[in-house]
A and B are shown apart, each in its own frame.
Chain A
Amino acid sequence: MTDHAIPPVALEYAPAPESRAIVDLRPSYGLFVDGAFVDGADGRSFKTVNPASEEVLAEVAEAGDADVDAAVAAARRAYQRVWSRMPGHERAKYLYRIARILAERSRELAVLESLDNGKPIRESRDVDVPLVSQWFFYYAGWADKLEHAGLGTSPRPLGVAAQVIPWNFPLLMLSWKIAPALAAGNTVVLKPAETTPLTALLFAEICQQADLPPGVVNIVTGAGETGRALVSHPGVDKVAFTGSTDVGRQIARSVAGTDKRLTLELGGKAANILFDDAPLDQAVEGIVSGIFFNQGHVCCAGSRLLVQENVYDDVMDRLKRRMTTLRVGDPLDKNTDVGAINSREQLDRITELARTGDAEGAERWSPPCDLPSSGFWYAPTIFTGVTQAHRIAREEIFGPVLSVLTFRTPDEAVAKANNTPYGLSAGVWTEKGSRILAMADRLRAGVVWANTFNKFDPASPFGGYKESGYGREGGRHGLAAYLAEGGEDA
């Protein structure tokens, strides 16, 4: 061949930051009660920061007992006077309208979500916000077909739903909670996490834009106290919570003995099981998206990788090579793959748990990467040489930290995968269809992904076994969590 003598040319990606200008951030936000933004009764507030820079984004009102009372009362009025009486096809119109506005304002929502949460814009833009819109479209379709939900000929809404959501997918969790509740005819009081309240408040504006009747959706911001006041409020009929197993336990206790319905979607320590006949290059992608998607702040993250021993070395080489191409940094840069850890508290927790991995003799590896000097950051990390006896194999780290274990036979893989207090999700990588089905049958997990990971679809139920909670969100099952069975006489 002709000697071109052109040495290899490095393609260094120039920064490609998404503009913040599309978001109209206000210095302070009130609560959204009865269709209007109002100040908190006792005037307390807290700050929400950009985890990538520690810059204060806004002051947000902290709802106290009186505010929660007002929100629940507004939801009750709206439930009795308007929403539960409205024909399903009318409710559907509002939900479709909200879904359309969400799609129209998707860029604004994505930028704000990345600012407040720290997740990369490519995830908020390409995953979160499109799913949020899809969730409303999906449940809008159900609103006039409740009699086909499998709960009798005339299922009834439950009433006022108290909903508490986490900081890892602020908008997506909002849509998982609000869309089915409204489709079924309930009204809601939702409390977003204290570190990520802003997109819920933007959603409140969207409810106004959609002319949703006042009181159907109420948003109260605050921390644990506000959440406690909301879920233990005697005026709510249904509690839905997504978050940590510890808080889930407290909620279960506070709801016990009442006639409130409860669904909990809690922690996880999912096994991602890779057999020797797996499509290796795609499996490596699946491992990466399983644990590094959203900085590992995913309750169903594939945080335990189980690799068949005869392909272990090959898989580790491929995984490490792939991890060196992950770009960690500014969440608003369109080329960023891994963004900021959501809060200092979470960063401390990840750091502490990872140290136990070192102390217990697991081997830590991270690709070389320069982390920004301000903000909360943790390099993508894998621990090899992990055993079932390690804390990092048992406890949910909720960060970009993968524990790698090995197995020899399918039985051993199943035994190890199920040997956890959790049971939210699992992954199986193999080219053999019969093995996928056999494994899915035996894995004690609410979702089993085959040759993929971290895929969400509004039509597919999602939820856990054991300490990962109970109840299902998504699909017809998710609707059932907001309906009481109706009979001929109901």
Chain B
Amino acid sequence: MTTTSEPAASDVAPLLTDLPGVDAVGLEARAAALATRSIKKEAKATAIDLAISMVDLTTLEGADTPGKVRSLAAKALRPDPSDPTCPQVAAVCVYPDLVATAREVLGDAPIGVASVATAFPSGRAPMSVKVDDTTMAVEAGASEIDMVIDRGAFLAGDLRKVYDEIVAIRAACERPDGSRAHLKVILETGELATYDNVRRASWLAMAAGADFIKTSTGKVSPAATLPVTLLMLEAVRDYRDAFGRQIGVKPAGGIRTTKDAIKYLVTVNETAGLDWMTPTWFRFGASSLLNDLLMQRQKLTTGRYAGPDYVTID
């Protein structure tokens, strides 16, 4: 594992061809074994606070309104109004037209505004539309762009198209002052169907300049799964070993309980390792997870389980 500079576009195809295969049975067995770790007491308290700090609090509905996003952003600032020691979440994740609203409520707080762009969730739009979508979100104040890859192109074998799109969107993330919104690339692993595809897509996205790789839009079933996340963590670990650049991982969709979140954290801990145990490098894309984390946190603090009416709905 020697560290060299990142692959040029022409080197990406052979890089993907050389990736080791994935044995589905073995991968799932490993994920199942990681899911049996018993996390209790102080370790559980640590895990809950860490998980809260990693949440990208998300609303991606056609019915989203400025009011809905304002209350979501307010919740991001103070997830548990009854307990000021509760950490803030990492970001709020919204459609591009609501970025400005979210940014307005968040003010200068160190909470990101993530926006899904590039004709989310299908990604089926002309390139010019995808670039405009991204540019608008960045201009409105998005600090993170969650783009979807063109799964149709990927499955048809047109990896070059997928690669070029990621490069182009990364360029569209640049702001006039030279800084750049961070790019999370959504692979929509449920549509990629095989683990080998997930590994190839992960490496393709990383080689094209992704800052994060993300499992799902949340609009396709299955969304995030533990084996897929384990596989993507192996990919970012191996990529850093090979090329020296660290890339984050974001499972999204379907993670609803503290118990689930802890399984993911254990998987990060034992796969990619300590360097990824921070919201800078690992996120949960979730809407309902936060409330379960808050309820479990209250239970650890007070010793009693208070129930869903003791946390805010959004």
Chain A residues proximal to chain B, CB less than 8 Å? 1-14, 16, 122, 126, 277-283, 285-286, 313-314, 317, 325, 334-335, 431, 451-452
Contact = CB atoms under 8 A, between A and B. Distances in A.
Contacts of A13: 37-39, 43
B22 A2 contact: no
A282 B27 contact: yes
B280 A4 contact: yes
A474 B184 CA distance: 51
Given A1-B143, A2-B112, A4-B280, A451 B25 contact: yes
A335 B44 CA distance: 14
Nearest to A337: B33
Interface in B1-46: 1, 20-23, 25-27, 29-30, 36-44, 46
Interface in B50-73: 50, 53
B236 interface: no
B90 interface: yes
Contact of A6 (B53, B112, B274): B53
B112 A279 contact: no
B1 A286 contact: no
Contact of B29 (A7, A285, A314): A285
A164 B50 CA distance: 52
B276 A2 contact: no
A202 B26 CA distance: 34
B47 A11 contact: yes
B277 interface: yes
B21 A2 contact: no
A272 to B, nearest CB: 13
B211 interface: yes
Contacts of B182: 1
B234 A8 contact: no
B312 interface: no
Given A1-B112, A1-B144, A281 B22 contact: yes
Given A11-B50, A126-B36, A282 B280 contact: no
Nearest to B179: A1
Nearest to A286: B26
Interface of B: 1, 20-23, 25-27, 29-30, 36-44, 46-47, 49-50, 53, 90-91, 110-112, 143-144, 181-182, 211, 234, 241, 265-266, 269-270, 274-281
Contacts of A11: 39, 43, 46-47, 50, 265-266, 269, 277
A451 B90 CA distance: 40
Contacts of B25: 282, 451-452
Given A2-B91, A13-B37, A279-B20, A285 B278 contact: no
Contacts of B49: 9
Contacts of B20: 277-281
B178 to A, nearest CB: 15
A6 B91 CA distance: 14
B110 A431 contact: no
A6 B280 contact: yes
A9 B50 contact: yes
A334 B36 contact: yes
Interface centre among A126, A277, A280, A286 (most CB of B within 10 A): A280
Nearest to A432: B21
15 contacts: A2-B112, A4-B90, A5-B110, A6-B280, A9-B278, A10-B277, A11-B266, A14-B41, A16-B39, A279-B26, A279-B27, A283-B26, A317-B1, A334-B36, A335-B38
A283 to B, nearest CB: 8
Nearest to B282: A8
A376 B22 CA distance: 37
A452 B27 CA distance: 11
B110 A335 contact: no
Nearest to B2: A313
A451 B20 CA distance: 13
Given A1-B112, A11-B50, A451 B275 contact: no
